[in-house]
Structure 1
Amino acid sequence: MFDFAIIVRSKTRRELLQDKFQTHAQAKFYVERSGGTISDIDAEHDRFYQSLESLIAQLSGRLKYKIIDRSYLPSFLFAENHLIITIGQDGLVANTAKYAKGQPIIGVNPDPTQYDGVLLKTQVSQTARQVDACLAGKNQFAEITMAELKLNDGQRLLAFNDFFIGPSSHISARYIIQHENQKEEQSSSGILVATGAGKTGWMSSVLNMVRGFAAGATVERYQNLGWSSNELIFAVREPFASRQSQANIVWGMIGEARPLTVESRMPTAGVIFSDGVERDFLQFNSGAIASVGVAPEKARLVISEG
């Protein structure tokens, strides 16, 4: 079934600094001049590469492999014979799942002291067992619901955790929102749409902000959503009521029969992006209409051996 492993990784902080400053010495000078210390960044870098080398060693004799940086995900074509392994923070699983076409993903935690590992169900030392179980078809998977957004011009975007619909900078978003039987013009800081898997992400900060004001059932209903629940939640950030804008539709659940539609009223600077990746965005300016619902694709995360 699988004869090739695709290892998806991110650059370490040390590598990002060296990309910017060309050399380690110049990066060290910049960090220490700013009051920081390079030793923690170096130690983090070393731990990551120790984990990566261990992972590669465990693939020896099992699968051929290719390592790609997360920046190549939008253009990389995954195939049915690919077993996907991410090694990095939780967000790397979310970013990869959007392009994985339903192929299994083994999320490896390279440093449990640094990463929470909500989506990283495999420790480095367990990689070989997980791969062997996948090759034998004996793994258990969590099927994770993703969100889908379509524009009226045919463009489409998936989200593992959440969508942001709004302005590209600190200005007010203007749009017409429609959900179930309600429709109104709004001005706000933008709209968040989140999946069940995204409840520990950006949406959680919104719920924390309004916890003291929202009905408890609203918060609890979303927090009880499982990863496979075929519902999404949306929240309007800081809606402003005026003569031209209302603030009645501030949150809601999105399902198969309850889509969310948003029509842009912004002449410029309107954007839509998913899972916090701002550089991979769709323009959302006047005339654009976005429809948001549950995606037909599912992410498949390896959670244990069978």
Structure 2
Amino acid sequence: MYAGTKMIAVITRETRLAGLKQRWGTASQADFLMEAAVDHEVERRRKAYSAKGVDVSDDDFLLMEASAEELTDHSAYEEEDETYQQSLRKLMQELDVDVPVREVDRRYVPNFDFDRCLAVVVIGQDGLVANVAKYVGDLPVIGVNPEPRRYDGVLLPFHVSEARAAVLRTIKQKARIEKVTLAEVNTISGQRMLAFNDFFVGCRTHASARYTLESGGSREPQSSSGVLVSTGSGATGWMSSVFNMAAGISQYVTGKEVPRLSLTRDDRKLMWTVREPFMSRHSSADNVMGMINDQEELVIGSQMPTNGIIFSDGVEDDFIEFNSGNIATITVSDQRARLVVG
């Protein structure tokens, strides 16, 4: 439709309610199933109390019901959906700046032609910005918070009412840009992928991942739950949970917490760790954490006959097959994400 014409891409995502409708067909069917889930959970808890010989009073039953309803609160889904749709409609009105605007669902981002764009506007959660930024090349990304009272918006610096001004500054090349370090993986099969937050290298199932790991001139065979590689942006995400686990274990065993490593979003280095390494006659665990500085690399060779994968930023549907014989080289990417911050 816009062939040969520059445009503004607005990246959206489905709400939880939209996901339920897509799964179950209609809102009423989704309502029925969620209500059934509440009834099932209340009955499960009642039976658990009964099995322990504990009488369930009317007050206890009401508490169970209230707790179960919190897990499947359809009104919260509806409120979230309506607020998002209102914010999106207002955003589209704000972006009437004499440049064509194209709404793009996040499912189509990996295959969308961003070469036709002047700027990319993302309306959603922080994770949506992270998932989009690695696909847009050098284009500036403008994060818009659809509901500030719900989302912290670390990567969403603009309210809907501020989007127009941010886009105009961006088009005129007067916006303040923050350059964010990305991670990059290349395989000998010719595939390449970027990560804004992190890479996971391992097995798509709960089976152990088998591979060789080479870092800093040291190479060893390993068996684990996979390898996690994090940028500075991802250091407060999945990688932080690894430190939480290590701190909890250390506190329990020694009474002391382990120190935490940290990176900033523009640091030209990556942090990696092996998740739950297993030691056997065929695998060791001498090298389970480290840094990848600029111009350095982490090399992982797959020994998984099937189900080996590499994915980034928690998006498992967009993955690289990583089976036996494939070798992945992970580095700090020359490409950086460009986030509009003012």
TM-score (norm 1): 0.94
Which deviations, in whole Å up to 9, do the C-alpha atoms of 1:214-257 show, x marking residues without a partner?
A: 9988623xx2x221111001000000111111111110000234
Equivalent of 1:141, from 162, 177, 188?
177
Give CA deviations for 1:257-281 in whole Å, capped at 9, x if unaligned: 4310001111111111111110111
The equivalent of 1:116 in structure 2 is 152
Q: Does 1:88 align with 2:91?
A: no
1:26 paired with 2:64, answer no
CA-based RMSD: 1.7
Say whether 1:7 aligns with 2:6. no
**2: CA distance, partners of 1:22 / 1:67:** 23
Among 195, 200, 219, the residue aligned to 2:260: 219
- Find out whether 1:177 has 2:213 as its counterpart: yes
Aligned match of 1:297? 335
Is residue 2:138 matched to residue 1:102?
yes
CA distance in 2, matches of 1:6, 1:196: 26
Which residue matches 2:65? Answer: none
- Name which of structure 1's ranges 56-65 and 148-157 shifts more when overlaid on structure 2: 56-65
Match of residue 238, structure 1, among 249, 260, 276? 276
The amino acid that maps onto 2:87 is: S
Shift of 1:6: 0.3
The secondary structure found in structure 2 opposite 1:111 is: coil
The aligned runs of 1:259-278 (5 Å cut-off) are 259-278=297-316
Matched, 1:48 2:73: no
**Which residue is equivalent to 2:204?**
168
Which stretches in structure 2 are left out of the alignment for 5+ residues? 39-71
Contact 2:118 2:171 (C-alpha < 8 Å) held by counterparts: no
Matched, 1:255 2:296: no
What does the per-residue CA deviation read over 1:145-198, in whole Å, with 9 as the maximum and x for residues that have no partner? 100001111111111100000011111111110000211111100000010111
Match for 1:280 among 309, 318, 326? 318
CA distance in 2, matches of 1:135, 1:68: 19
Does structure 2 conserve the Cα–Cα contact (< 8 Å) formed by 1:80 and 1:103?
A: no
- Quick check: 2:6–2:99 contact (8 Å CA) kept in 1? yes
Inter-partner Cα distance in structure 1 for 2:245 and 2:23: 36
Aligned match of 2:20 in 17, 20, 42? 17
The Cα offsets for residues 48-89 of structure 1, whole Å up to 9 and x where unpaired, read as 011111111111244320001000011101026421000001
Bigger Cα displacement from structure 2, 98-107 vs 209-218? 209-218
Partners of 2:258 and 2:23 in 1: CA distance: 48
Instruction: Please give the alpha-carbon distance, in whole angstroms, between the structure 2 residues aligned to 1:168 and 1:264.
Output: 13
Relative distance call for 1:284 and 1:61 in structure 2 (3 A) is: closer
1:125 Cα deviation after fit: 1.6
The equivalent residue for 2:166 is: 130
CA contact (8 A) 2:12 2:104 kept: yes
Distance 1:257 1:14 in 2: 45
Amino acid in structure 1 at the alignment position of 2:244: N
| Partner Cα separation in structure 2 for residue 81 and residue 270 of structure 1 | 35
**Aligned mates of 1:202, 1:95 — CA distance in 2:** 15
TM normalised by structure 2 equals: 0.84
Q: How does 1:174-213 map to 2 (within 5 A)?
A: 174-211=210-247, 213=250
- CA distance in 1 between partners of 2:114 and 2:259 (Å): 38
CA distance in 2 between partners of 1:99 and 1:208 (Å): 31
Provide the C-alpha distance between the structure 1 equivalents of 2:97 and 2:195, rounded to a whole number of angstroms. Answer: 35
Any conservation in 1 of the 2:20–2:30 contact (CA below 8 Å)? yes
Decide whether the 8 Å contact of 2:119 with 2:171 is kept in 1.
Answer: no
Which segments of 5 or more consecutive residues in structure 1 lack a partner in the other structure? Answer: none
Counterparts of 1:208 and 1:137, CA distance in 2: 41
1:202 to 1:282, Cα distance in 2 relative to 1, 3 A: same
SS at match of 1:79: helix
2:13 alignment partner AA: S
Q: Which moved more, 1:135-144 or 1:175-184?
A: 135-144
Aligned length: 300
